[in-house]
Structure 1
Amino acid sequence: MTSKVRTVTFDTQDPHTLATWWAKVLNGKLGDDDFPGDPGVSVTTDSMTLLFWQNPDPKAVKNRLHLDLEPNTTRDEEVEWLLTLGATVYDDWRAPDEREPNAPAGSGYVVMLDPEGNEFCVLRGTSERATTS
């Protein structure tokens, strides 16, 4: 037997606001029946559905699961754009640096936080991967 992932669910204090933010990031669409104040709001993209479910508890520890984004632009352009949307940089693992021995120049990733503090990574874009693979 096998299963497939139907949705990835985030606990959030404000489902509609965080879902709207992620819809911008992923060029996704909110459900037609999702409105401010709803306890659950979905975002559908070409490849997945994210569900944002209301939980009044504040985020207290590091995520045990996170998304890795591969932008259709460069990693650095995507990071800059995400900063304008309200994301913050949590940790920067872009090469060249000593933390990633033998990594090709321009490799690595950036760990960012969404507006509620959920971690996600921004990888190199598709075109960048093609030039260093």
Structure 2
Amino acid sequence: MSSLVRHVTIDCSDAYTLASFWAQVLDAKLADDDKPGDPEAVVDSPGASLLFLQVPEGKTVKNRIHLDLRPLDRTRDEEVERVIALGATLVDDRRRPDGTGWAVLTDPEGNEFCVERSQAEHEATQRPAE
């Protein structure tokens, strides 16, 4: 039998605080036993489980892996504004005038992630089949 991905693990300086941010972004919850000061925290969401591990060193370079978010019940631009209000920072705006593209943001500890168009937005820009 093959392996399954159990968690996507993110190193950070404050596991509980960063996990709390991502729980809000993903409309998910922290594990019941996670509390402030814990060296690890888990966010379980329908798409993926995120494990945040406290490490002594800070982030120094661009992530080699990142999350791509697709909003379920709002537009890409509404989602960008929502996550900025939660504490994210817009670092590279790749949205195009025709509605395509994405936005690159960072979480409160500087980890990059992208917000793509919703499924409805994607379908609205598809060309009809000939």
- Class of the TM-score when normalised by the shorter of the 2 chains: over 0.9
How big is each residue's C-alpha offset from its partner over 1:62-115, in whole Å with a ceiling of 9 and x where there is no partner? 00000000012100001111111111011011113xxxxxxxx10000000000
User: What secondary structure does 1:63 align onto?
Assistant: coil
> What is the alpha-carbon distance in structure 2 between the residues aligned to residue 66 and residue 84 of structure 1?
20
> 1:86: which partner in 2?
87
> 1:118: which partner in 2?
111
> What is the alpha-carbon distance in structure 1 between the residues aligned to residue 43 and residue 54 of structure 2?
14
> What is the alpha-carbon distance in structure 2 between the residues aligned to residue 58 and residue 49 of structure 1?
23
Task: Report the count of equivalent residues.
Answer: 125
> What is the alpha-carbon distance in structure 2 between the residues aligned to residue 51 and residue 129 of structure 1?
30
> What is the alpha-carbon distance in structure 2 between the residues aligned to residue 51 and residue 75 of structure 1?
25
> What is the alpha-carbon distance in structure 2 between the residues aligned to residue 130 and residue 71 of structure 1?
14
2:65 matches 1:65 = yes
Report how far residue 47 of structure 1 moved. 2.1
> What is the alpha-carbon distance in structure 1 between the residues aligned to residue 120 and residue 24 of structure 2?
22
User: What secondary structure does 1:61 align onto?
Assistant: coil
What is the alpha-carbon root mean square deviation over aligned residues? 0.9
Report how far residue 2 of structure 1 moved. 2.3
2:37 matches 1:44 = no
> 1:19: which partner in 2?
19
> What is the alpha-carbon distance in structure 1 between the residues aligned to residue 117 and residue 6 of structure 2?
26
2:119 matches 1:131 = no
> What is the alpha-carbon distance in structure 2 between the residues aligned to residue 37 and residue 64 of structure 1?
27
Unaligned runs of 5+ in 1: 97-104
Over 3 Å off, 4+ runs: none
